[in-house]
Structure 1
């Protein structure tokens, strides 16, 4: 039987992406920014990613069973969401900008408009041909389905939290067998995702890019009861995990400083927002601490209620707020929770894969397998890499054992760019497009910051370690192959690898399995043979303001323009102190 392919698309916002699913498995995933080199590729249709992904899979539009999108088009088309938006206008003093945004959604996400949008984009590539139908699935249900169906569990609580999707901002689900049932739905405008984005901008960072900076900064702050009381004027906690967000601080009112929050928020705290060039004061750190604590407290209350309702002790997390590592850590630390699976592609970008998996299940009855490797993107053969290197006229060598050669360079204190195999899906570098350093050396960590990444010195670096070594470095942990949760580091990790332990004593770890990352696992093992430490400092291979490198040419450009000492791309090695051909 001819295989059926389902293509998931996320477009029109930050990080548009394309996924291809066959037989319930994601076989390819690419984000538009990695190909265009425009960070986040905001508001674009992923044309480059679409063309490249289908080409690499070896299919054309005629092979695609459906274009899959994670919006509830039926509810947009039959008036339910329009009625919901009208109820918000009747209840709140909704400003003109919000009304215009609502009207744009109603005009874009109904079935006819969605099909027209996607078919128009596909025809820019393939011309006026017959195209597959567009299939849609509700937004938060897609997040829940993806997180649960690709988890290792057969029952779990699912928590989906984001800015908004269709009409909801947060949903708690009961997942059992192949049944996914909503237990509690919190609608717009009560969005913790929007709240966190608002404070990201208020603290001087960029929403949809700097939230992780707020999370990292929070560890440097202290509890501040005055700030906490002010935040309680914005977010109210009720019984049974309920919460509400006063939209007059976020949505409805004058927006002198930012589209993400109203002037009332700045007035509440009695000071204007921090400008990006201004120094970060203790007050900013304390506010970040309290905002993070509020998010964690709110989610803990919801999960505690859900656990009492279901009796389940396993948790999966979807939606963009699931990228908040510290929140995931606090949820794992709950005595009611035994295991946690925050999906590493939990944002709307990753929901391109979730939508395709969901439609494949609905159409063909194929339930997804648990998530494995995220190496799903662009790759180049050694022949293709060497052709690129020849064009650069730089000196390089072909290694007989690239893992051994790079391990020695790392043990000697070198900073290495590491490009191997298919590019990772999602925002984390997982040993395919990474910058690596010796975690024993805080000097190496500082060099990565100062002459390569050019980023804030207070942001943490993370470790990759052989999965079998995790018990040596953490007293309480779960399997964590995707760098989306942190655990309390024990004293041995603090002593042996101080460069990858955050100021709060935690470490956002990637546990590397030989079955899914053979060469990277081998590299860490060879580094351990030289140093006794089966851990590497791992950060994404990019500089500030750019996407993660995708191709060998991207890697060479970044290598030459930064303080990297060594570049290992495929089987080839370039050394900064030996670049010129004689």
Structure 2
């Protein structure tokens, strides 16, 4: 017997598929699909438009401008396990207040390119640990957490605003569908959901890499549906819980 053909789906396409095809939005709803994480297949975030069962990527950020990487490097700096214990920093943030200098320096490390709705960095964020360690030196751990979370919420909100400008004016306020480990920051999600430009927000449960296998299957199935003249949004049931 021959092995069936293997289709390779890139990391952020799989994330985007979970967000769009797993969402509760209707088959004719225009949806702004966002993915963001540390990185996967050389990419750390994407912006796509989903409509009538199809997704078209509008923008991407390479792994060198990763917001998630900054958050995880800070997690490691504070003695926790990177890519796992970021929630502890988010939970500690309300117990202190942001240091304006730290927040400003983080914005100088990574900022939003509003024209292309992507993140840009002065350096490759893979190698930002040294700069972060210098920035955080002799700072209280709770102030570091508060400053990091404040920067994170601001830069994510700014990115969403830039991305929303890529949608036709008739499709605003926007419907968001999101996936990727960065969207497991519930406080950041709260800030995004309260933006005037956002009408509704869906985050795939769970948004991390554990669901990329589901997204890969959704993407391949959706592609097959479209090739046969069918709308995959009519075929794939929304996923509200796992």
Aligned partners of 1:345 and 1:351 also within 8 Å: no
Question: 1:353 maps to what in 2?
Answer: 214
Q: Does 1:188 align with 2:60?
A: no
Change (3 A) 1:238 1:133: closer
2:46 to 171, 183, 191: 171
Report the Cα offset of residue 130 of structure 1: 5.8
Larger Rg: 1
The alignment partner of 2:148 has SS state of helix
TM superposition score normalised by structure 1:
0.37
Structure 2: distance between partners of 1:242 and 1:136: 25
Structure 2: distance between partners of 1:322 and 1:307: 17
TM superposition score normalised by structure 2:
0.84
Question: 1:148 maps to what in 2?
Answer: 20
Counterparts in 2 of 1:127-526, with a 5 A limit? 131-153=3-25, 154-240=29-115, 241-247=117-123, 250-252=125-127, 262-271=129-138, 283-310=140-167, 311-312=171-172, 313-364=174-225, 366=232, 367-374=235-242
Counterparts in 2 of 1:547-558, with a 5 A limit? none
Aligned partners of 2:102 and 2:135 also within 8 Å: no
**CA offset digits 1:152-199 (Å, max 9, x no partner):** 113211110011122321111111111211222111211111111101
Structure 2: distance between partners of 1:243 and 1:354: 24
Change (3 A) 1:363 1:239: closer
Aligned partners of 1:230 and 1:269 also within 8 Å: no
**CA offset digits 1:446-496 (Å, max 9, x no partner):** xxxxxxxxxxxxxxxxxxxxxxxxxxxxxxxxxxxxxxxxxxxxxxxxxxx
Structure 2: distance between partners of 1:308 and 1:234: 24
**CA offset digits 1:489-512 (Å, max 9, x no partner):** xxxxxxxxxxxxxxxxxxxxxxxx
Report the Cα offset of residue 268 of structure 1: 3.0
Report the Cα offset of residue 131 of structure 1: 4.4
Structure 1: distance between partners of 2:225 and 2:48: 24
More helix by proportion, 1 or 2?
2
In structure 2, list runs of 5 or more residues that go unmatched: 227-231
The alignment partner of 1:321 has SS state of helix
The alignment partner of 2:135 has SS state of helix
Structure 1: distance between partners of 2:40 and 2:89: 23
Structure 1: distance between partners of 2:102 and 2:129: 18
Aligned partners of 1:147 and 1:316 also within 8 Å: yes
Higher RCO (Cα < 8 Å, 6 or more apart) = 2
The alignment partner of 1:159 has SS state of strand
How many matched pairs?
227
Change (3 A) 1:336 1:364: closer
Structure 2: distance between partners of 1:330 and 1:369: 28
Aligned partners of 2:183 and 2:189 also within 8 Å: yes
The alignment partner of 2:65 has SS state of coil
The alignment partner of 2:64 has SS state of coil
**CA offset digits 1:492-535 (Å, max 9, x no partner):** xxxxxxxxxxxxxxxxxxxxxxxxxxxxxxxxxxxxxxxxxxxx
Aligned partners of 2:111 and 2:155 also within 8 Å: no
Structure 1: distance between partners of 2:154 and 2:61: 16
Counterparts in 2 of 1:86-165, with a 5 A limit? 131-153=3-25, 154-165=29-40
